[in-house]
Structure 1
């Protein structure tokens, strides 16, 4: 049987035509898909710039459906969900990324960090902690450690917080010695509340060794010594505080006066406060000096005269109010009303204000209740700032 070459001559052009048509169809489809995906992406970006997050999310979902292998679109979509507070949807997006086998190491670490942020923003601290731990040794190590530190501080897990700060300090992320001293003081306070004064004393000693210039350990130690019937030791501790951290002495003034009175060393306390008041006038030091003058019964220097002397140095509504409270007015029947008005006006000036967020409080805090920043409260009242 002879082979007919005419079939080959007819088949070759036909195969060429069919192949060309197929390639054109695939190329048009690919071009259409490529045009559609960027169009949806840029549409979502435009909505995002116009702060139309709902429409931006819809556009990004469309872009992800058109190109499901693009990780950047998933990251953008997950971040949008987190910003809108839709943490469950953000978690699903980032968990989907982590489940992909074709995801590179860098994108995998990025998705792990994003997932940890989802849990953190949602307040799921235990799950956030578990998601942050695998980031040790990655490019997100520093951010993960800071987030873990915030978690341990919020949960008051002071040993874990101290361990994280030691790692951060060893890696050159900053000096955390003062914060470590705060953690030890918090542990000492908890031990004292349980009646374990020996452990509290040990923690305070460790805190002073960790941060010799930090004022809180010495104040807490003096408070413990006075509580245990050692007022003389408390006075000595506060004298050391005045030498090493004079700016914090106003915070310890009431404790110093009480301990000095119990130890029979009020004259020493008066001299100490007087020296520091001359160098750095303070309302708390002024009140301490007035209280000591009144307790000593020194008629040659009535305590109220100190208010007048303070007003000569610094204008102060608080000092003026305190002085006026002891004075006799021409129309004495109006004195109570005037005094109440002045007291009300001066009361906000006696608060402490956080230097980080501006949160005001009647008492001094080592950690701001508002922004959780350590050592953000100056040892001076609002009027003195």
Structure 2
């Protein structure tokens, strides 16, 4: 059979025409879909800018249905769900993203980070921890470690918190030094060991904390307390001498402890010398009271309060002075004293500089905002 070239000449134009027609149909369909998706997307953005989150979510869901392969729409939708507190729906969106096989590594890491945030906001700390651990070695590594640190602090898992703090401190990042934070973790672990009766390990942790952060007052104060409890008053006093050298602003926190140390006759004069020298540099209500309590007689102690009042007005000092005076009318004096004692209670509290949380005791870790070292060593009256 002879090959007829005529059919080829006729077939080529026909094939070209059919191909062109098919491409035009596909292009038209693609344009329709692309017009629909951006329209819904921009409508969602408009709702979002007007703080109409319900309508924005509906618009983004429509956009995702029109173009299910667009990861940005999924991220926008998931973030909206999280902001509204619909954590279960946010988790589903981000888990759907992670299940896709066409995501590149940066997008996958982003989805993993978003999923971890969903779990954190929902309070599912165990699942958040697992999700954050998967971000090691990614662009979100530092942020993930900071979140892990917050989780371990909330759960009082000080061993794991120390591990993360070491990693953060060893990295070349902008997070700053974590040596003081590590010292706090060691002090917390020391308290646990002390409660279990392991005094030696508790002291080892405190010494390691002092070595890590020599200017941190907490390890020195905790060491002095433990040494005093063990009957080593001289060593306790030396620890507080170091406190006055490296962190003098915190010495008022150890004023009561110094009074106890001074019960040893051979340490009375050194303690008084330390307290008076510190008070001359930094007048403080707590140090003033300690000096008054260690005074050789009542008159000398009363003079301490008057000296303080000469330097600055203090209701606490005035109340202490009045309490030590003798009055002709005991009944009326008692009423006045009760009123003054009640008025000074709020003034003797400590206040967190970060959130304003007030407490009758000094905290190294604020129970309100979870900040470290946010409580000044001064009472509210002195701020």
* Residue 133 of structure 2 corresponds to residue 154 of structure 1: no
Deviations 1:45-93 (A, max 9, x none): 1222222222211111111111111101111111111111111111111
Calculate the TM-score normalised by the size of structure 1. Answer: 0.91
In 2, Cα distance between equivalents of 1:25 and 1:234: 88
Aligned residue pairs, count: 380
In 2, Cα distance between equivalents of 1:276 and 1:178: 24
In 1, Cα distance between equivalents of 2:11 and 2:219: 98
In 1, Cα distance between equivalents of 2:264 and 2:73: 70
Which residue matches 1:82?
82
Change (3 A) 1:206 1:33: same
Which residue matches 2:196?
194
Change (3 A) 1:267 1:14: closer
Cα distance, 1:338 vs structure 2: 2.9
* Residue 245 of structure 2 corresponds to residue 243 of structure 1: yes
Instruction: Report the 3-state secondary structure (helix = DSSP H, G, I; strand = E; otherwise coil) of the residue aligned with 1:325.
Output: helix
In 1, Cα distance between equivalents of 2:254 and 2:379: 14
In 2, Cα distance between equivalents of 1:236 and 1:10: 103
Deviates more, 1:23-32 or 1:316-325: 23-32
Which residue matches 2:71?
71
- Aligned pairs for 1:280-291 (under 5 A) are 280-291=282-293
Gaps of 5+ in 2: none
Instruction: Report the 3-state secondary structure (helix = DSSP H, G, I; strand = E; otherwise coil) of the residue aligned with 1:184.
Output: helix
In 2, Cα distance between equivalents of 1:336 and 1:357: 37
Change (3 A) 1:275 1:31: same
Instruction: Report the 3-state secondary structure (helix = DSSP H, G, I; strand = E; otherwise coil) of the residue aligned with 1:63.
Output: helix
Cα distance, 1:326 vs structure 2: 3.0
In 2, Cα distance between equivalents of 1:115 and 1:212: 40
Change (3 A) 1:375 1:60: same
Change (3 A) 1:263 1:365: farther
Change (3 A) 1:331 1:53: farther
1:212 pairs, out of 204, 211, 214, with 214
Change (3 A) 1:37 1:318: same
Kept in 2: contact 1:365–1:377 (CA 8 A): yes
Cα distance, 1:291 vs structure 2: 1.2
- Aligned pairs for 1:269-280 (under 5 A) are 269-280=271-282
Which residue matches 1:304?
302
Deviates more, 1:230-239 or 1:249-258: 230-239
Deviations 1:188-235 (A, max 9, x none): 111110001111111111111111111111111111111112222212
| Backbone CA RMSD of aligned residues | 2.6
Deviations 1:240-287 (A, max 9, x none): 211221111000010111122145422221121111001000111111
Kept in 2: contact 1:232–1:260 (CA 8 A): no
Gaps of 5+ in 1: none
Deviations 1:276-310 (A, max 9, x none): 001000111111111112xx3264x2x12222211
* Residue 368 of structure 2 corresponds to residue 370 of structure 1: yes
Which residue matches 1:358?
356
Which residue matches 1:342?
340
In 1, Cα distance between equivalents of 2:267 and 2:23: 100
Which residue matches 1:383?
381
Change (3 A) 1:230 1:31: same
Which residue matches 1:41?
41
Cα distance, 1:353 vs structure 2: 1.0
Cα distance, 1:333 vs structure 2: 4.2
Cα distance, 1:330 vs structure 2: 7.4
Which residue matches 2:29?
29
Kept in 2: contact 1:353–1:378 (CA 8 A): yes
